[in-house]
Amino acid sequence: MLDDPRIKGLWTLINAALHPPRGAGRITLALVMGASCHLVFAAAVLAMIVAMFFGMSKSLGNAPWPWAVIANAALLVQFPLVHSLLLTGPGGRFLAGLIPGPHGRTLTTTTYALIASFQLLALFALWTPSGIVWWQAEGVTLWLVCAAYAASWLLLLKASFDAGAEVQSGALGWMSLMARIKPVFPDMPTLGMFRVIRQPIYVAFALTLWTVPVWTPDQLAVALCLSAYCLAAPRLKERRFAARYGERFQRYRASVPYVLPDVLPQRGPHDAQ
């Protein structure tokens, strides 16, 4: 396990951040951004877990009806739109310019994760519930559904680690700034769950949307919209990978399915190495 390049890369980054060169202002900025990013990220994940566990029926929004429909639609659409736009060239330049001074570009991944966390927190904490409950699991069914829900979140955690925990959590930016080094992104992910399918993060995220123990019109709207995003958004990601990794990514794409694993794969993902 210690030979895993993902662990080696993360440990190198952590070790460099723990022994930074001098620069109090830079270090303070890095720590403030890191703490803000991870606190909001944790709050967003907690809000998502709790809100969907209750089928979006326990959120804090209280917009009057029928204006609540517009408010909920805005909350639902803003995440996939902004999340995708910020990954474009202009979006990256916008992120780099959000932090005044010379460190904006280094902090881009942290800033991106911070904005995404605020987006998710707003969606799941400020949703206005309809008050309609179609179905609620009980007894043995409740335990089975809860187990599936927990397993979906664990799969999402595992897929995020396989993709590069420092990038997915936003740690790459602030830790690189602490160490006064240029952010170095992990290599193209082909290990762990990426051996089975090319988009395990999006698949696991979609699974969390459909394994909830309470079903309402609210939950269905959220599940449908974000599931469509989980199917479409990776296409843009793969265009970036094709441009960055060229033939290596083409071989990987030819040997590993998109979102559904092959029962009897003809070639293993190690062929992409």
pLDDT digits (tens, 9 = 90+) for 231-252: 888 888 888 888 888 999 999 9
- What confidence score (pLDDT) does residue 46 get? 96
Predicted confidence band of residue 126 (pLDDT cuts 50, 70, 90) = very high
**Tens digit of each residue's pLDDT (9 = 90 or more) over 200-227:** 999 999 999 999 999 999 999 999 999 9
**Tens digit of each residue's pLDDT (9 = 90 or more) over 139-157:** 999 999 999 999 999 999 9
**Tens digit of each residue's pLDDT (9 = 90 or more) over 50-65:** 999 999 998 898 999 8
273, 190 in Cβ contact below 8 A?
yes
The first and second tokens of residue 124, run together, are 């799941």
Token pair 């990601």 in the structure block, residue: 237
Q: Round to whole Å and give the CA distance between 115 and 118.
A: 5
Q: Round to whole Å and give the CA distance between 187 and 194.
A: 12
Single pTM value for the model = 0.81
- What confidence score (pLDDT) does residue 237 get? 86
Question: If DSSP codes are grouped into helix, strand and coil, which group holds residue 114?
Answer: helix
CB-side exposure of 251: number of CA atoms within 13 Å? 13
Q: What average pLDDT score do residues 115-128 get?
A: 95
Nearest to 189 by CA among 169, 162, 228, 160: 162
Q: Round to whole Å and give the CA distance between 41 and 38.
A: 5
Q: What is the mean pLDDT of the chain?
A: 86
- What confidence score (pLDDT) does residue 157 get? 93
Question: If DSSP codes are grouped into helix, strand and coil, which group holds residue 34?
Answer: helix
Q: What average pLDDT score do residues 133-138 get?
A: 95
84, 233 in Cβ contact below 8 A?
yes
Predicted confidence band of residue 2 (pLDDT cuts 50, 70, 90) = very low
Please report, for residues 79, 225, 232, 238, the alpha-carbon distance to residue 235 in angstroms, rounded to integers and kept in the order given.
17, 16, 6, 5
Token pair 């566990």 in the structure block, residue: 53
